[in-house]
Chain A
Amino acid sequence: MEETEYVIKTIKFGILSPEHIKKMSVVTITVPDTYDEEWVPIPFGLMDRRLGTLEPLQRCETCGERMEQCPGHFGRIELARPVIHIGFIKYITMILQTTCSECGRILLDDNSIRRYKDYYLRFKNKKLHYFATLINNIVVKKASQASKCPHCKATKLKIKFERPFSIIEEMNGESKILTPYEVHDRLKKIPDEDVELLGFDPVYARPEWAVLFTLPVPPISIRPSITLETGERSEDDLTHKLGDIVRTNEKLKQSIESGSPQLIIDEHWNLLQFHVATYFDNEIAGLSQSVHRSGRPLKTFAQRLKGKEGRFRSNLSGKRVDFSARTVISPDPFISINEVGVPYDVAMRLTVPEKVTQWNIDRLKEAVRKGPNELGGANYVIRPDGRQIDLRFVKDRNVLADQLEPGYIVERHLMDGDLVIFNRQPSLHRISIMAHQVKCLPGKTLRINPMVCPPYNADFDGDEMNLFVPQDSEARSEMETIMKVEKQMLTPRYGGMIIGALHDYITSAYILTKKDTKLSRFIASYILGLAGYREPIELSNEIKGREIFSKLLPNIDFEGKPLAVFNEEDKKLVIKAGRILSGVIDHNAIGDQKAHTLLHKIYLTFGPEFTKDFIDKLGKLLIGYLDHYGFSIGLDEEDLPDEAYANINEAIRKHLKKVDEYIEMYRKGLLEREPGATVEETLEQKIMDELNLARDEAGKIAEKYFNQDNSILITAKTGARGKMLNLFHMAACIGQQSLRGKRITRGYENRTLPHFKKGDISPYARGFIKSNYKKGLSPLEFFFHAISGREGLVDTAVRTSQSGYMQRRLINALLDVYVEYDGTVRDAEGNIIQFLYGEDGIDPTYSFGQEPVDLDSIIKDELEK
C-alpha cells in the first residue's frame, strides 16, 4: 500500500449541505430498530451493515473491507419536515435580524455595502483576519438597527430568539413563530456576497444549510454497541437518540400522509425538533434533558466533547503514557536530594532501551541473562531486523545473550543512576517537575529526601507522586543540563533557595551550633563520619559543636542575622574562611524558601554540584546529631507555675473589665462613634482590640516563665516549626474565636447558644476563649473553637478550587509566551508582548532580592582583593 505524508496547514469548519449529506450517505435509515432476534442487523435500521462493521472477520457491505480497514460510512435520515440546527440558532437569528425578509439583502444601502466590502476584502487578502472580523461585526451592528430595507423598501420587523428553539417575528405587538420552512426560504434569498460580508463563507457554510432537511447518521464505529458480561447488548447513547429521531420522523410522515389534523402534525414536528436538538446537545437551557430508562441523561455530541471528562480535556490534553509509575512517597534522609528511591518491583517493570555497543555489550548480556524477574535484568530484546523478543517467554536466555551484538537493542531494567522525571500535582510551577537519579531500594514506596519537599510542596501524610522514564538520549541530555534538582534550587519567584533545611534540620543545627554545645570525641567522629567527612582531624573530648559544623563549610565568608537571639554574643552570625566565629545556624542561615542565606551564597559561589553535596552532607550530619541528642516535646513543657497562672488570670480579668466598661458606656449611649463606623461597629472594634490585648498580654506573661531549652520555644524561635503564638495558645490563652473576621454572633435569636441571655454581647457569649490547650476548654469554649475551626477548613477547600480555576485560565492564556533570544517577549504568532522581558530584562532567579545585583558585596569583594 502506498503511503503519503501530508502536513495539515489549516482546518476549515463549515456546515454540511443537503447535497453533501446525500452524496456521502450510503443508506437512508427508516427503521428505528437495531437487530432482529438472531442478532442480525436490520436492513435500513440504525445498525445497517452498509454503515460499516465492528464484528471481527465480517466484511463491510459498502467497501468490502474488514473492521480494521473500514472507516465506517454515513447514512442519512430524510426528515419529513425540516428542523433548525440548535448549534446555529443564534447565528440564524443574527442573520435574519440583519437581512431583508423580502429581498434577502443586508439592510444597508448599496454605497455602505460596497465600502464595507472593499475594506473586508482588503483585510482578508492581507490575511488580517482580526480586522476582517471587525468589519463583519460593524456590518451586523449597523444593519440590525435598520427599520426599513433600503433596497426594496419593505418594512423590517423585529426578530427575536426564544428559548429553546423558536425564532419569533413581532408584527405590531403580535408575535409569530417562524416555521423552519419560512426561515429556510428567507436565508436562501440572501446573495452570496452579502453572506460573506456577514462573516460566513458561502462555499462552505450557506446559512440555509443550518435548517436541516436531511440528517446525517454517523457510522457505527463512533457509536459501537457493547456486550455486557451477562450477554446483554447495550447500545450507545447516540444510537438511542437516533432511534428516537427515526421513530418520530416515521410517525410524522404517517400523520402527514394520512391527512391528520394540523395540530397532531405540529405536535410530531415539535417532538422531532426536540429530539434533533438534544441529539446535538443534551444540556440546552430551557429544554428538558433526554434520559435513559434508568433516568440517567443521555450523552450526546456536545457532552462527548465538553468539560473535564470530554474529548478535549480528557483524551487530547490528558494523554496517558507508558514508562511511568505512581505510588505513595515516604522520606529517606540518607539518599541525596537529587535521588529518588524506586522500589525493586517498580524498577523491574520500567525499562530503558539501550543500544548494544562494544562498550556496554558485557553489561547488557548480563542483563539479558538475569531476565525479567531479577533486578538489573531486562524485559525485551529488539533484534536489528526490528523483531521484539519478550524475555518472559525465552526458554534459554543464555543462548539469546550470546547472540547479542552491536545493533541489538536491550530494554533493560531501571538501574541506579538512571535519570528520571519526578512530579507531584498540582504542578503549579516549574519546580513541580524535576529530574532525579534513580536509587533502587527495597520497600513499596517512592523515597525522596525531605529537603526536596518544598519545591514539590509534598509531605508524607499519604501524598503520591509520579515518575517518568525518558526513552532517548536527547531527552536525557536535556534533563541532565536543565532539569536536575541541583539546577533548580533557585526559584524564579523570589530569587532565593527553595531547597534548604527544614524542621528537624533547623532544630538540630541550632542545638549543635549553640555557644555552649560541646561534643564528646565519640559522637563528634560519629556524625562527621556519617556526613562523609574523611579528613584527619584532632578531636579532644570537649569539641565545640560549632567546630564540627564548620568542618563541612567551604572556604566562605558570611554575615547574617540569626532568627533566634538567646544571648548578646550571638546577635550576629559571622563566618570567616569557613569557620563560625559567632552566632548560631538557624532558618536564616540554612533554611528553605529563603533568599540571602548562607546556602544561597554557597550556591552562587560554588555552583549547583557543590551545593548539592554540601546539603547532602549537612543533612546527614544534622540528622545524626539530633538522633543522638534525642529532641522531643513533652506535655510538662507547657506547664507554668501557679504564680504565672495567677498573673495571666489577673491580666485577662483586667481587660475583660475594660470590655464591660465599653459595653456599659454603649448601653448608656455615651460611647463615641469612630469616623466611618456606626456606634455598634465602634463598640465591636473596641471589644476585639481589647480582647486581643488580653491574649497578647497573657502570652507575654507566659513567655517569661519558659526556659531557653523549652522545645517548642526552640522550634518557634529558630524557624524550625510553629510560631510563638502556638506556644501561647498551649500554655496561656487561646483568645477570641472569629467567624468571617468578626466575633461569633450567629446561632439562635440574638444569642449564640441557649446558655446565654438574649442580647448578651459580653466576651464569653461571643466566642472568647480564656482557657489554653494545656488545661483544656470548657464545653462552650470548645463549641466556639469548633466554629472557627470549621470555617478554616471550608475556606481552604473553597480557596484551592478557586485558585485552581484561575491557574487553569492563566496557563491557557500564557502557555505559548516565551522570551526570544533578543530579550523580547513574544507569543506563538510572533506578536510582541514586551520589548524587554519584565521591562528591565532581568531574570529574577539570579537577581538579588529587589535589586538586580548585590552591589554592596561585589564592591566589598573587589576592595578586599
Chain B
Amino acid sequence: MEKDNYDILEHELVPKHVVLSKEESKKLLKRLKVKPYNLPWIRASDPVCKRIGAKPGSIIKIIRKSPTAGITVYYRFVIPG
C-alpha cells in the first residue's frame, strides 16, 4: 500500500473529527463553564490533528460510535507538541 495516499480518516477505527469554529468553541466553553485547558488534550502532532489541520489552541469535536449510547460526542483541546 502506498503510505502517502492512505487517508487515516477513512479507517474504520478512526472516529469523525471536526475542528470547531471560534463561535462554536466559545459556546461550548460557556456551556461547560470551563477554560480550554480543562478539556481533555490532544497533541497537534497527533496524526488526526495533522490530517484535519487542527492548530494548537483550537478545539476539536470527536463523534464516536458507542455500543450503549449509539453516538457519543467528545471534545479535545489541541496543545502544542
List the interface of chain A (C-beta within 8 A of B).
128, 131, 134, 822, 824, 826, 829-836, 838-842, 850, 852
Contacts and interface: CB of A to CB of B under 8 A. Distances in A.
A833 B69 contact: no
Contacts of A826: 38
Contacts of A835: 32, 72-75
Contacts of A128: 37
A831 B41 CA distance: 10
Nearest to B62: A835
A822 B68 contact: no
B1 interface: no
Nearest to B40: A832
A476 to B, nearest CB: 33
B13 interface: no
Contact of B38 (A830, A839, A841): A830
B39 interface: yes
B69 A840 contact: yes
B33 to A, nearest CB: 8
A839 B64 CA distance: 10
Interface string B45-81: 0000000000000000000101011001111000101
Q: Which of B37, B39, B68 has the most CB of A within 10 A?
A: B68
B15 to A, nearest CB: 12
A822 B32 CA distance: 8
B31 to A, nearest CB: 8
28 contacts: A128-B37, A822-B32, A824-B32, A826-B38, A830-B34, A830-B38, A831-B38, A832-B34, A832-B75, A833-B40, A834-B74, A835-B32, A835-B72, A835-B73, A835-B74, A835-B75, A836-B69, A838-B68, A839-B64, A839-B66, A839-B72, A839-B74, A840-B66, A840-B68, A840-B69, A840-B72, A841-B69, A842-B68
- Closest 7 A-B residue pairs measured CB to CB? A840-B69, A839-B72, A840-B68, A831-B38, A839-B66, A830-B38, A839-B69
A399 B32 CA distance: 63
Interface residues on B, range: 10 to 19
B32 A836 contact: no
Q: Which of A134, A829, A831 has the most CB of B within 10 A?
A: A831
B69 A832 contact: no
A134 to B, nearest CB: 8
Nearest to A830: B38
Nearest to B80: A131
Nearest to B39: A832
Given A822-B32, A830-B34, A835-B73, A852 B68 contact: yes
Contacts of A131: 79
B12 to A, nearest CB: 19
Q: Which of A830, A833, A852 has the most CB of B within 10 A?
A: A830
Given A830-B38, A835-B75, A850-B68, 18 more contacts: A128-B37, A131-B79, A826-B38, A830-B34, A831-B38, A831-B40, A832-B38, A832-B40, A832-B75, A835-B32, A835-B72, A835-B73, A835-B74, A836-B72, A836-B73, A839-B66, A839-B72, A839-B74
Contacts of A832: 32, 34, 38-40, 75
Contacts of A134: 81
A37 B21 CA distance: 83
A836 B73 CA distance: 8
Contacts of A833: 40
Nearest to A847: B68
Contacts of B34: 830, 832
A370 B48 CA distance: 76
A839 B68 CA distance: 8
A645 to B, nearest CB: 52
